Amino acid sequence: MRIKLRAAALAAAMIGFAIGAAPVASAVNCSLGQYCIHENVDFGGSTCYFTGDDYNYTNDNCGGLNADNITSSYSNYARQANFDDIYGYRHVNNTADTLWYATRGTFRSWVSPCNAEPCNDQASGHKWV
């Protein structure tokens, strides 16, 4: 009986955690397994959804808006995996200038401060690491 009660308490705690954690993710326009860049602060405006590397945002369409140089907030909603962190880059096809390193579960409602200012409306690519 004691063991069953503990199991029930553990299950309740886990459910509580899941419910408690859900609003964070559901508050942003991004799905599990994706890295998302958002046009506006607080995950607003047009959003681009990525599951793989992309070194050139100039050929990506985010709800009618070109993805290049629009990022004001971002979400790394990756599943746990070997490559679930993100390097965000300032330039197209160029990994020399890293704007940010975003570990899995990073939801930044505003990109600044970053690795090197300015960071708003600068991102042009990213890589999973």
* Identity of the residue numbered 111: V
Q: Which stretch binds Ca ion (CB under 5 A): 25-33, 36-44, 47-55, 104-112?
A: 36-44
Q: Is omega for the bond preceding 23 within 30 degrees of 0, making it cis?
A: no
Nearer to Ca ion, 84 or 99 (CB): 99
Q: Does 70 bind Ca ion (CB under 5 A)?
A: yes
13, 18, 48, 63, 115 from 54: Cα distances, Å:
38, 31, 11, 17, 19
Q: Does 121 bind Ca ion (CB under 5 A)?
A: yes
Query: Around Cβ 2, how many Cβ atoms within 10 Å?
Result: 6
Minimum CB separation of residue 122 from Ca ion in Å reads: 5
Task: State the residues that interact with Ca ion by CB under 5 A.
Answer: 39, 69-70, 72, 90, 121-122, 124
